[in-house]
Amino acid sequence: MLSQFQSAVCLVLWVIGAVTVAQDAYLDRAWKLMSETPLIDGHNDLPWQLRKQFNNELNKVDLNKLNTTHTNIPKIKEGRLGAQFWSAYVPCDTQYKDAVRQTLEQIDVVHRMCQKYPETFMFATSSQDIMEAFKMKKTASLIGVEGGHSIDSSLGTLRTMYQLGVRYLTLTHSCNTPWADNWLVDTGSDPSQHNGLSPFGKQVIVEMNRLGMLIDLAHVPVAVMNQVLDMSKAPVIFSHSSAYSVCPHKRNVPDDVLKRVKETKGIVMVNFYNDYVTCSQTAKLSNVADHFDHIKKVAGADIIGFGGDYDGVTRLPEGLEDVSKVPNLVAELLRRNWTDAEVKAALGDNLLRVLREVEAVRDNLTSRSPDDVPIPYEELQSSCRTSYGYPDAGVVHSLSALALLLTLALQALIASAAY
């Protein structure tokens, strides 16, 4: 006969065993779903780490062994990463300087990464490419440009980036552009310059619809979110933003906007950055799942996606430390009674739906000419820009030079009068 102590030990072991089995069962189911539907992540800053840590000298990097990033090839395999929008990000202080060149270099490093590791990555520009890569068990690699400053107020540059494979543009990063306000306007730390989008900013939206480029509303203020939702012919994305009701950070999406995203069949891809997840420096995987639950409650599982922001942030939740850990989050959703269909929607079906619709809108607009009306010269703030092509800009220049001269002369006159 077992002693009481022995029975207790047996019971404890049985409970531990049962819990372990149950957890494994959820993870097994997560893996199964991830083998049927690609996990598509909206935002990863590995290319920025390649610049920061190696000045884009990819030849000196082994992505199989790299251990100073959240992302490397073994972690990608373990995390079953089906498709990734790699971020072509350059900081706001490149605006009016070398933003376009630096962005081109980030686009280049993604292309080179795909060429160097063809067993792992397949460069992708369409919904069809994503599914093709998934069938070949490769990570479909798309590009998103993070911040309107990267196009230097030029529709020609926007179009050229599309030609290079760029499939989303985040309208702003953390600075206003000559045509759009950024999210810091909502915190009060940046002034509003355009009440959202300027008329040229609206031209950018129309042109993105025509091109078939996803419009990314991460990093924009609520005014811009609503203006774009009013006018875009195609659904929008938030490539890496979480729910404002769960953590009231201005980078997150308020409930009324979540509902508009639902009406317009767009997607909000949840960011894992601790500061956006809990509004504090620490977070757990379950806190991220709370954002998923909240968005599902407010707007349904059909607008949710994953937008981890790996290698773009410094603090990540316990249990989601790098890209290998994402299946644990999928398992957590299953543990919270998400259905298989809901989980698959969040994994990839939603993003695929949005991308297909953006492609369909493009295909319906092929008869429309590219917009070649440039931004008005006086709306540019770049002292580095020449004015070639703007017939009146020379006059504006000489007039402002004349005005400056008169001001100086007047000041000199006042100064001399004072003595």
**List of residues contacting ligand NAG (CB under 6 A):** 65, 67, 336-337
For the purposes of burial, counting CB atoms within 10 Å of the CB of 402, is it exposed (0-12), middle (13-18) or buried (19 or more)?
exposed
Taking the complex as a whole, the smallest distance from the CB of residue 310 to ligand NAG amounts, in Å, to 18
Identity of the residue, 65 or 135, whose beta carbon is nearer to ligand NAG in the bound complex: 65
Identity of the residue, 122 or 285, whose beta carbon is nearer to ligand NAG in the bound complex: 285
- The whole-angstrom separation of Cα 195 and Cα 63 is 43
Taking the complex as a whole, the smallest distance from the CB of residue 395 to ligand NAG amounts, in Å, to 59
Cβ count near 2 (within 10 Å): 9
Identity of the residue, 33 or 289, whose beta carbon is nearer to ligand NAG in the bound complex: 289
Over the range 24-58, which residues count as b (16 or more CB within 10 Å of their CB) and which as e?
Answer: eebbebbeebbeebbbbbbbbbbbbbbbeeeebeb
Helix/strand/coil percentages in the chain, nearest 5: 50, 10, 35
Identity of the residue, 13 or 19, whose beta carbon is nearer to ligand NAG in the bound complex: 19
Out of 41, 43, 181, 322, which one is annotated catalytic?
Answer: 43
Identity of the residue, 72 or 139, whose beta carbon is nearer to ligand NAG in the bound complex: 72
Taking the complex as a whole, the smallest distance from the CB of residue 205 to ligand NAG amounts, in Å, to 40
Which two tokens mark 310? 């790996």
Amino acid at 242: S
Q: Are 81 and 41 contacting, i.e. CB atoms less than 8 angstroms apart? A: yes
Active-site residue, 249 included? no
Quick one: which of 284, 269, 264, 296 has its CA closest to 361? 264
Active-site residue, 216 included? no
Active-site residue, 93 included? no
Q: Are 282 and 245 contacting, i.e. CB atoms less than 8 angstroms apart? A: no
Out of 70, 219, 249, 294, which one is annotated catalytic?
Answer: 219
Tokens 């047996």 locate to: 10
Q: Output the CA–CA distances (angstroms, integers) from residue 250 to 29, 42, 102, 253, in the order listed.
A: 35, 19, 27, 8
Q: Are 254 and 217 contacting, i.e. CB atoms less than 8 angstroms apart? A: no
Which two tokens mark 184? 């810091």
Specify the 3-state DSSP secondary structure of 222.
helix
Out of 70, 149, 173, 294, which one is annotated catalytic?
Answer: 173
Taking the complex as a whole, the smallest distance from the CB of residue 335 to ligand NAG amounts, in Å, to 7
Out of 275, 293, 309, 357, which one is annotated catalytic?
Answer: 309
Active-site residue, 173 included? yes
Which two tokens mark 217? 């509303």
Q: Are 37 and 301 contacting, i.e. CB atoms less than 8 angstroms apart? A: no
Query: What's the CA angle centered on 205, arms 204 and 208, to 5 degrees?
Result: 85
Out of 41, 70, 129, 146, which one is annotated catalytic?
Answer: 146
Active-site residue, 24 included? no
Taking the complex as a whole, the smallest distance from the CB of residue 318 to ligand NAG amounts, in Å, to 19
Out of 45, 129, 302, 359, which one is annotated catalytic?
Answer: 45
Active-site residue, 294 included? no
- The whole-angstrom separation of Cα 225 and Cα 46 is 27
Active-site residue, 309 included? yes
Taking the complex as a whole, the smallest distance from the CB of residue 65 to ligand NAG amounts, in Å, to 5
Taking the complex as a whole, the smallest distance from the CB of residue 76 to ligand NAG amounts, in Å, to 17
- The whole-angstrom separation of Cα 266 and Cα 42 is 13
Which two tokens mark 285? 């995987």
Active site residues: 43, 45, 146, 173, 219, 240, 309
